[in-house]
């Protein structure tokens, strides 16, 4: 689905990621961990083509990202649900409109029932008409997850999805992501929360990747 081949990324001040070779297989569940500033967010941005590798290759659904026209980048993103670290919404639109934004920009309409089901699934049906600035951190994270999956994407990338929420909410979000994986979605979560990773490993087979010294390694059993 998403493949890195000797990919590197250089911010200009030095190489942040180097010689990354990795494939996210369909239906897999990956964690990406590493200290702050190690390049987790950069890796995710490369995985949904917000950044281009400065060396090597990244292919998304068998398309080399460097040669993708802008419209094709937009089309690919409709197949990738992203939960960003800094969850951003259109603050002037109510939550329901924000959640169905990917459908809106793709010119598709959602059935009212489907949207209601989705909001209920993430526990936000009572906030459908609320504006984003009035939501709490956990509510924003769940809304972002709902927005990420409303198009039925093949891959879900989440950047520190539990960064601003308490442990109870973290487990709730993890449960949602595990459920999605069981539905066949490919999941990659960037996090430094090792407890979350341990909790996930108890529920589902996962691979844990660690960024160390600009490279990606398979983490050991010490987690």
What is the binding site for other proteins (CB under 8 A)? 48-52, 70-71, 73-75, 77-78, 82, 84, 88-93, 97, 101-102, 104-106, 147, 151
Q: What's the closest the beta carbon of residue 199 comes to other proteins, in angstroms?
A: 28
Contact (CB, 8 A) for 216 and 20: yes
Q: What are the helix (H) ranges across the chain?
A: 40-47, 70-77, 95-99, 101-105, 112-121, 137-149, 167-182, 194-203
Beta carbon nearer to other proteins, 25 or 106? 106
Beta carbon nearer to other proteins, 59 or 203? 59
62 burial type by CB count under 10 A (0-12 exposed, 13-18 middle, 19+ buried): exposed
Cα–Cα nearest to 150, from 57, 80, 70, 90? 80
Beta carbon nearer to other proteins, 147 or 210? 147
Q: What's the closest the beta carbon of residue 58 comes to other proteins, in angstroms?
A: 13
Q: What's the closest the beta carbon of residue 101 comes to other proteins, in angstroms?
A: 5
Beta carbon nearer to other proteins, 155 or 196? 155
Q: What's the closest the beta carbon of residue 77 comes to other proteins, in angstroms?
A: 4
Q: First CA to last CA across the chain, in angstroms?
A: 27
């Amino acid at each position: 689905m998403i493949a890195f081949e000797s990919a590197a990324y250089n911010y200009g001040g030095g190489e942040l990621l180097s010689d990354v070779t990795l494939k996210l297989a369909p239906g897999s569940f990956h964690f990406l961990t590493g200290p702050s500033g190690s390049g987790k967010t950069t890796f995710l941005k490369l995985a949904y083509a917000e950044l281009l590798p400065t060396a090597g290759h990244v292919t998304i659904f068998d398309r080399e990202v460097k040669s993708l026209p802008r419209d094709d980048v937009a089309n690919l993103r409709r197949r990738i649900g992203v939960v960003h670290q800094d969850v951003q919404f259109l603050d002037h639109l109510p939550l329901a409109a924000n959640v169905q934004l990917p459908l809106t920009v793709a010119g598709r309409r959602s059935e009212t029932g489907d949207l209601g089901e989705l909001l209920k699934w993430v526990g936000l049906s009572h906030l459908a008409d609320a504006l984003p600035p009035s939501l709490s951190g956990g509510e924003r994270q769940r809304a972002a997850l709902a927005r990420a999956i409303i198009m039925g994407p093949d891959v879900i990338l989440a950047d520190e999805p539990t960064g601003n929420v308490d442990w109870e909410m973290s487990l709730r979000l993890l449960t949602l992501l595990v459920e999605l994986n069981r539905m066949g979605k490919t999941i990659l979560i960037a996090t430094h929360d090792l407890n979350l990773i341990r909790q996930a490993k108890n529920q589902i087979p996962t691979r844990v990747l660690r960024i160390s010294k600009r490279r990606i390694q398979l983490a050991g059993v010490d987690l």
